[in-house]
């Protein structure tokens, strides 16, 4: 299973916005472009602007290029706004649901928790981070990592759980109560530019 194992903060600096909601990424000095002095370089052309939007989405959900293209191709075949369908598909990934519920601090920690078999969907173990949850699915974690999850939740004291997820902190269960909408994505992204990039 391929995944990005390089420096993460460099990705935030590259796209000019935090890709993880932790102080290391949200610090003001980290939003300068990469390099010793954060050299801005030339103004981006049309292709560069579209590429930057796509990379922003990829880095935020920790998806590699081939997998991103596959998801986009599936979304293109469905009826409706391709950009909104793409955001909904990425939001409903199992690793992202674990992250949005506040059970882990980052998408990378959520991915590791899923791959190691600590996450159950409707009582059955699922170890694929790309697993798509649907409305009515209940996501729980194994009892042996309850202590770790509670520590993560304490460290994310101001975390806001989106409206399409219903979290029960006492039992550490998460229920998907609705389909996510583009306005519930916690960072600005123009999906029209991403769709244009692949046309």
Check which CATH number belongs to the domain holding 75 and give it: 1.10.1050.10
Structural tokens at position 109: 């920690």
Q: Is the pLDDT of residue 30 over 60?
A: no
Say yes or no: 79 and 124 in one domain: no
**Pair (72, 144) in one structural domain:** no
Q: Do residues 14 and 57 both lie within one domain? A: yes
Q: How far is Cα 197 from Cα 94, in angstroms, rounded to an integer?
A: 26
Cβ atoms of residues 166 and 121 within 8 Å: no
| Res 24 pLDDT > 80 | no
| 120: β partners | 125, 140
Which burial class, exposed, middle or buried, applies to 49 when counting CB atoms under 10 A from its CB (0-12, 13-18, 19+)?
middle
The structure tokens listed for 94 are 């199992």
Name the one residue in this structure whose structure tokens are 């930057």: 52
Distance CA 176, CA 2 (A): 28
Q: Which domain holds residue 81?
A: 9-90+186-197
List all residues 6 or more positions away from 163 whose beta carbon is below 8 Å from its beta carbon.
Answer: 178, 184
Q: How many domains does the chain have?
A: 2
CA-to-CA distance for 120 and 71, rounded, in angstroms?
23
pLDDT of 40 reads 63
pLDDT for 184 equals: 82
pLDDT digits (tens, 9 = 90+) for 97-140: 999 998 998 899 999 999 999 999 999 999 999 999 999 999 99
Domain identity same for 126 and 156: yes
Distance from the first to the final alpha carbon of the chain:
28
Q: Kindly report the average pLDDT of the chain as a whole number.
A: 86
Residues 173 and 192 in one domain: no
Is the pLDDT confidence value at 20 over 70?
yes
Give the angle subtended at the CA of 69 by the CAs of 45 and 46, to the nearest 5°: 10
For residue 168, the domain's CATH number is 3.10.290.10
Same domain, 42 and 78: yes
**What pLDDT, in 10s, does the model give residues 65-81?**
999 999 999 999 999 88
């Amino acid at each position: 299973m391929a995944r990005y194992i390089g420096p993460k903060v460099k990705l935030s600096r590259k796209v000019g916005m935090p890709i993880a909601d932790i102080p290391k990424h949200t610090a003001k000095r980290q939003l300068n472009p990469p390099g010793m002095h954060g050299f801005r370089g030339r103004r981006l052309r049309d292709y560069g602007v579209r590429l930057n939007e796509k990379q922003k989405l990829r880095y935020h959900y920790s998806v590699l290029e081939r997998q991103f293209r596959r998801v986009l191709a599936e979304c293109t075949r469905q009826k409706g706004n391709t950009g909104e369908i793409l955001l909904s598909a990425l939001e409903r990934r199992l690793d992202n649901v674990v992250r949005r519920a506040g059970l882990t601090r980052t998408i990378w920690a959520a991915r590791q928790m899923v791959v190691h078999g600590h996450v159950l969907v409707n009582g059955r173990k699922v170890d694929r981070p790309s697993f798509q949850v649907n409305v009515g699915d209940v996501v729980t974690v194994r009892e042996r990592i309850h202590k770790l999850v509670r520590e993560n939740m304490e460290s994310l004291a101001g975390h806001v759980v989106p409206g399409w997820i219903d979290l029960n902190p006492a039992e550490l269960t998460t229920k998907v109560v609705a389909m996510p909408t583009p306005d519930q994505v916690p960072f600005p992204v123009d999906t029209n530019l991403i769709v244009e990039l692949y046309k």
